[in-house]
Each structure stands twice: as C-alpha cells, then as structure tokens.
Homo-oligomer: A and B are copies of this chain.
C-alpha cells in the first residue's frame, strides 16, 4: 500500500496546483487522512524541506495555519538556494560571506541596499564573540538571511515582522 506520507505529499502538491504557495490547517489535513496531526509535520519535514525547495511558515492559535512556499528554482537548473546553503556549510569567514552576497547581487536577486544589510549582519564587527566561534555563528546568520532572501523572491509578504 502506498505509504500515507506519500499520499499526503501528493495531495498537497495537487492542492498547490502550480501555485507557489498554499496555506492549510494542520488538523484538517490530518483529519482528512485520519492520522495524527504530527504526521503532517513529518511529511513537511521530509517532503517539503529546504533541500527540496520549500519553505514552511506557520502560526499557532486561533486562525493558525501552515504555509508552504515553493521556491522557484529558476536561475539554475538545480535549486540555487540549496547550493548556496551548501556553500555556507557549518562555518564561513567574512570574505566568504561577502563573496556569496556579491554573487547574489550580480545575479540581481537582491538590491544593493539588501546586499549591504547582508554584509553588515555577517561582518566580523557584528559578531561580538571570541574569534574562534565567529565563523560558525556567521554561517548560522547567513543561512537565515539566504532563506529569507529567497522567501522575498516569491513575492509574498515574507514572514511576519512582528
């Protein structure tokens, strides 16, 4: 029998129907498939991961939702974000970060102002901790920035700045 996770994956993809984003209620979906709500999280984690080109956003409480955003993999056959994240790795130095940001700028995926911000956030001066750990920390910040930058490209409202 087709695994439940696969069915749910297919169902969601069909729901998206080419659109690059969709919002759904976790519990409703779980009910539709008569499974535990956390099963949905599993599907999201394994089938709609960053590596596969998706970004998940969610909110709890009354009016809660789970939003799935598919990043368009345009600029390169492979998923560009995925590749960039790979290049960031677990640590990266200031020059490496700058180079990467510069490349985004060259590709016209971000503006000069945005590039300036990304560079500022990953500059040595911004990360005030013992030198030894800076590169690791910078990698975390840069990853977060990259994911956000790609979210921006989807034209949506990005995530709440709340």
Contacts and interface: CB of A to CB of B under 8 A. Distances in A.
A26 interface: no
Contacts of A140: 125-128
Interface residues of A, number: 48
A12 interface: no
Given A119-B148, A147-B120, A158 B112 contact: yes
Interface in A133-161: 133, 136-137, 140-141, 143-145, 147-149, 151-152, 155, 157-161
Contact of A143 (B101, B117, B126, B143): B126
Interface in A106-140: 111-123, 125-129, 133, 136-137, 140
Given A3-B63, A119-B159, A152-B116, A133 B144 contact: no
A120 B126 CA distance: 15
A115 B161 contact: yes
A21 interface: no
25 contacts: A3-B62, A3-B63, A6-B63, A98-B162, A105-B161, A111-B113, A111-B160, A111-B162, A113-B155, A113-B157, A114-B114, A115-B161, A116-B158, A117-B118, A117-B121, A117-B149, A117-B152, A120-B145, A121-B121, A121-B145, A126-B140, A126-B145, A127-B141, A128-B140, A137-B137
